[in-house]
């Protein structure tokens, strides 16, 4: 069963969130900010697919190239699986579904001569290529970006690698967890040694996701430059480099102050109090960003005198005396339950919040109010949920035109659409195992 554009349903964003109409009922094809841009997605797993999903959300026509028979590695990364109609065990993993909406799937054996020829034909029609093959793979297959641009001078080619391809580490493999470790993130994530902690990775593949976001913004910048120059270009976004780049204030703390940052659990390296605190029945997060908020917090906790205490008056004082302040606050907060503190602190103007699990996030009224979950009509599930793109445009739309595709679902459609292939030619390619 193929899903047509007219068979896609999504929920509109409520007016209370002040967004424009995002999509029409039953998925009429709608223009987006990147409408007319053709993206050939040769990437797999997460960083590249995350980038191309963003481009698809903004209206680009994204063609996902997958290996025949097995497809993207993440199709096998389950359970959980989306169950087939009738309740049978499906083989569409939740992981794959998370990062491949708004794409069409075309299977191509890129390792074959015929498959490489097909990719060259598609590249000649594309605006963007995204790939994350091992260094040297595309060159070996005769798909060097410079060569592809001879036939298509406006082509933008984005390469996602573990390490910069001109570096001594160019041929080293890289996965999110090892990049989080080697790139410094795990050294600042987790409880401190003094509390028996150990390095921790972030609970999602954040190095991949952030690399994908850097890639998407770079691609859009290159397309903007092309609009005046008429020329495409090559872009490289290494996982390691992007990980280091978004160490942000922690990196600058080291570069400016010379002290290697360590693990602080939920605490902030530059602001106090800014961490989770235990209450009588759980934990809450308090995030004080200035001295006024600190004074409000102390008043709410029944310790107004601490706002004028020389140890705590200014943030730099609180940083120097962090342990003393945290001990005093912990003793006060542990006397009452979270349901007492959260409204009390909010009424005092103190930034605070519960520590929700993922289920609580999606059951919260805000999720429904602002449309954090959308539904698309998948061949296996007419109400397949997907996490919404958080961007809201005052003009234009974020697209939810199509669900993550089945493997090879659009092979014939794409070859006819992009290359004008006949049904007979497509059938021959299938018989030869090229697609």
Active site positions, annotated: 208
CA 37 from chain center: how many Å? 21
* CA pair distance 79, 176, nearest whole angstrom: 20
Contact in structure between 411 and 432 (CB atoms under 8 Å): no
If one counts every other C-beta atom within 10 angstroms of the C-beta of residue 381, the result is: 18
Widest CA span of the chain, in angstroms?
84
Q: What is the DSSP letter of 308?
A: G
Q: Which two tokens stand for residue 386?
A: 């997907």
Q: Which two tokens stand for residue 402?
A: 């199509």
CA distances from 391 to 14, 160, 178, 242, 395 (A): 14, 24, 30, 22, 12
The helix, strand and coil proportions of the chain, stated in percent and rounded to the nearest 5, come to 40, 15, 45
The string over 387-416, giving b where at least 16 C-beta atoms fall within 10 Å of a residue's C-beta and e elsewhere, is ebbeeeeeebbbbbbbbbbbbbbbbbbbbe
DSSP H helices, 132-182, are: 137-140, 145-151, 176-182
CB-based contacts of 98, cutoff 8 Å, min separation 6: 386, 387
CA 221 from chain center: how many Å? 18
Element (H, E) at 207: helix 206-229
The string over 144-182, giving b where at least 16 C-beta atoms fall within 10 Å of a residue's C-beta and e elsewhere, is ebeebbeebebbbbbbbbbbeeeeeeeeeebebebbbeb
Residue 366, helix vs strand vs coil: helix
Phi, psi at residue 7, to the nearest 5°?
Answer: -110, 30
Q: Which two tokens stand for residue 300?
A: 């709410």
Contact in structure between 422 and 398 (CB atoms under 8 Å): no
């Amino acid at each position: 069963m193929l899903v047509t554009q007219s068979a896609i349903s999504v929920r509109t964003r409520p007016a209370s969130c002040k967004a424009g109409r995002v999509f029409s009922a039953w998925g009429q094809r709608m223009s987006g900010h990147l409408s007319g841009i053709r993206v050939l997605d040769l990437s797999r797993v997460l960083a590249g697919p995350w980038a191309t999903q963003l481009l698809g959300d903004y209206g680009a026509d994204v063609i996902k190239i997958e290996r025949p028979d097995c497809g993207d590695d993440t199709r096998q990364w389950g359970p959980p699986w989306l169950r087939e109609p009738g309740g049978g065990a499906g083989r569409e993993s939740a992981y794959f579904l998370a990062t491949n909406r708004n794409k069409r799937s075309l299977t191509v054996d890129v390792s074959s001569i015929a498959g490489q020829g097909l990719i060259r034909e598609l590249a000649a029609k594309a605006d963007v290529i995204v790939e994350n093959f091992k260094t040297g793979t595309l060159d070996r297959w005769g798909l060097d970006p410079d060569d592809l641009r001879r036939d298509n001078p406006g082509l933008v080619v984005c390469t996602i690698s573990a390490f910069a391809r001109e570096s001594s580490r160019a041929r080293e493999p890289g996965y999110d967890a090892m990049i989080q470790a080697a790139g410094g993130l795990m050294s600042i994530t987790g409880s401190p040694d003094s509390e028996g902690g150990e390095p921790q990775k972030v609970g999602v593949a954040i190095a991949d996701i952030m690399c994908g976001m850097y890639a998407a913004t770079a691609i859009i910048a290159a397309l903007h430059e092309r609009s005046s120059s008429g020329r495409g270009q090559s872009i490289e976004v290494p996982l390691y480099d992007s990980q280091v780049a978004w160490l942000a204030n922690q990196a600058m703390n080291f570069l400016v102050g010379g002290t290697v940052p360590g693990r602080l659990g939920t605490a902030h390296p530059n602001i106090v109090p800014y961490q989770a605190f235990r209450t009588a029945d759980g934990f809450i997060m308090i995030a004080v960003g200035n001295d006024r908020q600190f004074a409000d917090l102390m008043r709410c906790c029944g310790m107004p005198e601490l706002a004028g205490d020389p140890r705590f008056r200014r943030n730099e004082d609180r940083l120097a005396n962090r342990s003393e302040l945290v001990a005093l606050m912990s003793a006060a907060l542990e006397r009452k339950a979270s349901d007492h503190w959260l409204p009390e602190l909010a009424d005092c103007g103190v930034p605070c919040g519960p520590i929700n699990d993922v289920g609580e996030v999606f059951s919260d009224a805000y999720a429904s109010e602002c449309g954090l979950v959308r539904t698309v009509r998948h061949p296996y599930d007419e109400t397949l949920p997907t996490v919404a793109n958080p961007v809201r445009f005052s003009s234009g739309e974020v697209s939810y035109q199509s669900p993550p595709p089945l493997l090879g679902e659009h092979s014939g459609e794409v070859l006819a659409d992009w290359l004008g292939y006949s049904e007979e030619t497509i059938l021959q390619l299938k018989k030869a195992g090229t697609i």
